[in-house]
Amino acid sequence: MDSKTSKKNKAFILTCNLTLSEHVHQVAKNDFIGLVNTCAFETSVNEELPENTKVSAYDIYFIDLFNSDWGHRVPFEFLQLAENSRVVLFNVQNTLLCEKYLLLAGIEGVFYFLDRPDIILKGLNQLQKKERWFKRSSMNHALAHLLKLNKNSVTSSANMDEKTLFPTLTKRENTIINLVKRGAQNQEIADLLNISTNTVKTHVYSIFRKTKSRNRVELITWSLQFATATHLENTIN
C-alpha cells in the first residue's frame, strides 16, 4: 500500500472537565471520539491544548463544548488557533453561537450534541476531504456576507477600475472570477460568456487551484484580500 494513502491525519481532541452531567458528557465524548477513530484519524485526547511549539504537529483540532460558557463569541485563544490550524467544534449545545460567525472566524465545522452518529460520520468524512462542515444555509449566509463586503469595497473604491486584474490568472479566468465575486453562478456565467457550463467549471477549478481556494467562500475572501492589498499599494505609490 502506498504510504501516502495510508497516512492518518493527526487529530487533537480538547475535552472539558467532567463536572456537570458527568455521565451524559462522558458518553457523548466517548461516542464522538469513537466515531473520529473509525474515520482513520490518529487521535490524542487532553484537557489542555499542546504547547505552542507542538501545535503544528496536528492536522485538525476538535474542541469539546459540552460545558462551554462561550456565549456568542469564540475566545481569542481559539481564534488564534484557527488562524493556522483546522478547528472543529463538537458537543455544541449553545444556541447563541452563530454558524455564519463561526465560519467567517475561521472555524472549519461544528457538530451538535444531539447530532445522530450517521450525521457526525458524514461530517467527519467531509473534513477528511479538507471540506468544511456547516449547514448549507450557513454557508450561503457567509457567502452573501462576503459578497456584500465585496460590493461595499467596490463602492468605497469608486476611483479604481471596476474589475480587479489578478496577474496569476488568464484573461478568461479574470473575467470569470470577477463575475463570481458578484455572485454569478455557473449557468449565468456560461450564458454571459456564451460558453458551456462544463467550460465554466473547468475555469473555476483552475482558479481554485491557482488561488489555493477550496470553494467560492474562500475564493471571494482571497480576491477581497488581493484587491485591498493592491489598492493600498497603489495608494501608497
Residues 182-193: pLDDT tens digits?
A: 778 889 899 989
Neighbouring CB atoms inside 10 A of 208's CB total 16
Largest CA distance in the chain: 63
Residue 19 has pLDDT above 80, yes or no: no
Q: What is the CATH number of domain 3-134?
A: 3.40.50.2300
Residue bearing the bigger pLDDT, 114 or 143: 114
Model confidence at 51, pLDDT cuts 50, 70, 90, reads confident
Length of the chain: 237
Q: What is the pLDDT of residue 182?
A: 78
Report phi then psi at 70, rounded to 5.
-65, -25
Q: What is the pLDDT of residue 205?
A: 92
Q: What is the pLDDT of residue 75?
A: 83
Asked if domains 3-134 and 138-236 share a fold, the reply is no
Residue bearing the bigger pLDDT, 138 or 162: 138
**Record: fold of 138-236:** Arc Repressor Mutant, subunit A (1.10.10)
Report phi then psi at 31, rounded to 5.
-65, -45
**How deeply is 127 buried, as exposed, middle or buried, from its count of CB atoms within 10 A (0-12, 13-18, 19+)?**
buried
Q: Which three cell numbers stand for residue 6?
A: 495510508
Among the ranges given (83-87, 114-118, 146-150, 153-157), the one the predictor scored with the smallest mean pLDDT:
153-157
Q: What is the pLDDT of residue 142?
A: 67
Q: What is the pLDDT of residue 161?
A: 42
Q: What is the pLDDT of residue 159?
A: 40
Q: 121: closest CA among 108, 135, 111? A: 111
Residue 198 has pLDDT above 60, yes or no: yes
Partners of residue 133 on adjacent β-strands? 109
Residue extents of the structural domains in the chain: 3-134, 138-236
Q: What is the pLDDT of residue 200?
A: 93
Model confidence at 8, pLDDT cuts 50, 70, 90, reads confident
Among the ranges given (14-18, 108-112, 116-120, 136-140), the one the predictor scored with the smallest mean pLDDT:
136-140
Mean pLDDT of the chain: 79
Residue 111 has pLDDT above 80, yes or no: yes
Q: What is the model's pTM?
A: 0.59
Mean pLDDT of all residues in 73-85: 82
Residue bearing the bigger pLDDT, 237 or 58: 58
